[in-house]
Amino acid sequence: MTAPALVLGIESSCDELAAAVVRDGSEILASRVREQVDVHAPYGGVVPELASRDHVRGVSAVAEAALAQAGVTPESLSAVAATAGPGLVGSLLVGLSFGKALAFRLGVPFVGVHHLEGHLISAELADARLVPPYVGLVVSGGHTALYRVDSRAARAVLLGQTRDDAVGEAFDKVAKLLGLPYPGGPALSRVAGSGDPAAVAFPRPLAGEPGYDFSYSGLKTAVLREVERRRPLGEQDVADLAASFEAAAIDVLVARARRALRDEGIGRLAVVGGVAANRRLRERMAEAAKADGFLAVFPPREFCTDNAVMVAAAGARMLASGVRHALDLEAFSRRPLGSAVPEPSR
């Protein structure tokens, strides 16, 4: 089956609300993202109820803006896709309900998309050489996991994941410890640029252990101890601690990805999710790819963080393979890929 002509995608799983229009499964006609930095900045982290309330205020305007940018009317849409999970349920329900209501009104098919399938599809869209089998490293505020993708991203097999904090969460928490502005990950990465990554030899959690799991809470605690030891922190302390933390956090990601590729005998890697926007992760993984001879694909930065292009494109693929979801599809807060959104239900 061919991809449906025009799919509107909606993403609202956390603090970003996004809408996009994709033609024929891969051509991006519009992509809009409404961020909530100002809403959550006073609290130093995402407040779920405030996120969903802001989504309620913004959802129709963001969808309209995407349609206007694409130059298409709602009536010309072939289908609607929305993220069904994982994520904050209150946030998810806004985009999901809006998407279902629009599909109902237009009488077109609806599909609910797994957020992580969307992230992986961002990499597939970025480089046509990224075809299964490949290894997917998902690194975001909510996830740190390695998957093996044999056929479709939706059927990916989990190889390992974090036992505690996600790597993006660790970036955000360490940024807060260092007194950096919200959102922490990008701010930490910026100041790390003027620090010495070898200033403090932070632990590389689980480095000596077999397998593909991750752990970031111990690293975060090690940074806290060093912060307390050095207080009051000068500008150079902050830069050095940021650079040393970043080096440790990234080392583990690169080492685990290399191991998975080697053990699985696979030569292609996708690195996706918000932390894939990190410059030093991109550099270090590119060095490893050159040394070991694998293909490392990172989506363009704007499609690393949450967006709706990935939802529309993933939805288009599901629709092309005959998947439709009934309008009673529920949101889910947690579910690994592979046991993805129920399919098919027509």
**Residue with smaller CB distance to Zn ion, 162 or 244:** 162
43, 121, 185, 191, 252 from 297: Cα distances, Å: 34, 11, 21, 26, 18
Dist. CA 295–CA 305, nearest whole Å:
21
275 touches, from Zn ion, ligand KG4, none (C-beta below 5 to 8 Å by class): ligand KG4
CB of 74 to ligand KG4, least distance (A): 27
Residue ranges that bind ligand KG4, judged by CB under 6 A: 14, 140-142, 168-169, 171-172, 183-186, 189, 273-275, 277-278, 305-306
**Residue with smaller CB distance to Zn ion, 64 or 302:** 302
Region of residue 265 (left: phi > 0; alpha: psi -120 to 50; beta: else): left
CB of 51 to ligand KG4, least distance (A): 12
- SS3 state of residue 229: helix
172 touches, from ligand KG4, Zn ion, none (C-beta below 5 to 8 Å by class): ligand KG4
Build a one-symbol-per-residue string for 118-157: x at contacts with Zn ion by CB under 5 A, - elsewhere: ----------------------x-----------------
Using the 8-state DSSP alphabet, how is residue 162 labeled? B
Give the amino acid at 259: R
184 touches, from ligand KG4, Zn ion, none (C-beta below 5 to 8 Å by class): ligand KG4
**Cβ atoms < 10 Å from Cβ of 82:** 32
- Which H or E run includes 150? none
Contact between 306 and Zn ion per CB under 5 A: yes
CB of 282 to ligand KG4, least distance (A): 9
- Which H or E run includes 147? strand 144-149
Dist. CA 40–CA 43, nearest whole Å:
5
277 touches, from ligand KG4, Zn ion, none (C-beta below 5 to 8 Å by class): ligand KG4
Q: What is the binding site for Zn ion (CB under 5 A)?
A: 140, 306
